[in-house]
Structure 1
Amino acid sequence: MKFDMSRAWDDGIAMLRRNTNMVTIIAGVFFFLPYLVLMLMTPDMSQNPAMQPGANDPDAMMNAMMAVYREIWWLILLMALLQGVGTLAIYALISHSNRPTVGEAIGFGFKGLLPFLGIGLLQSLALMLVAGIPLGIAAATGSILLISLVGLTAVVLVIYVYTKFSLSVAVIGMEKQFNPVKAMGRSWALTKGNSLRLWLFYFLLFLAFGVLSAVVAMVVGLVLSLAGPEVALFGNGLVSSLINTVFVCVFLSVVAAAYRQLSGGTPDSISETFD
Structure 2
Amino acid sequence: MKFDLDTAWKDTTSLVRDNFGLLAVLSGVFYFVPYLAALLWVPGMSELAMGQFDPNNDKMEAMVQAMFADYWWAFILLTLVQGVGLLSMLALLRRRASPTVAEAIKVGVRSVASYFVASILLGFMIGLAAIVIVAPGALSGIAALAVIGVIVLVVMMFYLFTKFSMVSPVIAIDSVLNPLEALSRSWKLTKGNSVRIFFFYALLMVAYLVISTVVSLVFSLVFALGGAEAQTFGNAFSASLMQAVFAVVFIGVLAAVHAQLTRLKAAPAEPVDGTY
What's the TM-score, normalizing by structure 1?
Answer: 0.88
Runs of 4+ in 1 over 4 A off after TM superposition: 44-47, 55-58, 265-268
In 2, Cα distance between equivalents of 1:213 and 1:227: 22
**CA positional deviation for 1:97:** 3.3
- For 2:73 and 2:46, the matched residues in 1 are separated by 22
Residue in 2 that maps onto 1:15: 15
CA–CA distance in 2 between the matches of 1:83 and 1:56? 27
Which shifted more, 193-202 or 61-70?
61-70
Q: Which amino acid aligns with 1:246?
A: V
Deviation at 1:122, TM superposition (A): 1.0
The verdict on how the C-alpha distance between 1:178 and 1:222 changes in structure 2, with shifts beyond 3 A counting, is same
CA distance in 1, matches of 2:265, 2:196: 22
Residues 1:258 and 2:257 aligned together? yes
Matches within 5 A, 1:71-220: 71-220=70-219
**5+ unaligned residues in a row in structure 1: which ranges?**
269-275
Distance 1:88 1:162, change over 3 A: same
**Aligned with 2:207: secondary structure?**
helix
Deviation at 1:44, TM superposition (A): 4.9
Counterpart of 1:273 in structure 2 is none
| CA contact 1:91–1:252 (8 Å) conserved in 2 | yes
What is the CA–CA distance in structure 2 between the aligned matches of 1:100 and 1:45, rounded to whole Å? 36
- 1:46 and 1:170 map into 2 onto residues whose CA distance is 30
Larger mean Cα displacement after TM superposition, 257-266 or 7-16 = 257-266
Residue 96 of structure 1 and its aligned partner are, at CA, apart by 1.9
Cα 1:263–1:250 change in 2 (3 A) is: same
SS at match of 1:2: coil
Partner deviation per Cα, 1:163-187 (whole Å, 9 max, x = no partner): 1111111111110011111111111
Question: Which stretch shifts more, 58-67 or 193-202?
Answer: 58-67
The equivalent residue for 2:36 is 36
CA distance in 1, matches of 2:172, 2:252: 12
1-side partners of 2:24 and 2:17: how far apart? 10
TM-score of the aligned structures, taking structure 2 as reference length: 0.88
C-alpha distance in 1 between matches for 2:94 and 2:55: 50
Distance in 1 (CA, whole Å) between partners of 2:156 and 2:90 is 28
Aligned to 2:2: 2
Q: Please state whether the residue corresponding to 1:153 is helix, strand or coil.
A: helix
Worse-superposed segment, 12-21 or 238-247: 12-21
Shift of 1:129: 2.0
Q: Which amino acid aligns with 2:77?
A: L
Aligned residues: 264
Give the C-alpha shift of residue 217 in structure 1. 0.6
The residue type paired with residue 84 of structure 1 is: G
Question: Residue in 2 aligned with 1:247?
Answer: 246
Gaps of at least 5 residues in structure 2 are 268-276
SS in 2 for 1:201: helix
Query: Is the 8 Å Cα contact of residues 91 and 104 (structure 2) preserved in structure 1?
Result: yes
Whole-Å separation in 2 of the counterparts to 1:106 and 1:95: 14
For residues 7-51 of structure 1, give each alpha carbon's deviation from its aligned partner in whole angstroms, at most 9, with x where no partner exists: 11110121122222222221111111001101111335899xxx9
- 1:130 aligned partner, one-letter code: A
Counterpart of 1:3, as a letter, is: F
State the Cα distance separating 1:205 from its structure 2 match.
Answer: 1.0
Separation (CA, whole Å) in 2 of partners of 1:83 and 1:176: 19
Q: Distance in 1 between matches of 2:254 and 2:55?
A: 41
Identity level (%) = 38
User: Which letter maps to 2:103?
Assistant: E
Aligned equivalents of 2:40, 2:246: Cα separation in 1: 20
CA distance in 2, matches of 1:116, 1:44: 28
| Greater mean deviation of Cα atoms: 185-194 or 69-78 | 69-78
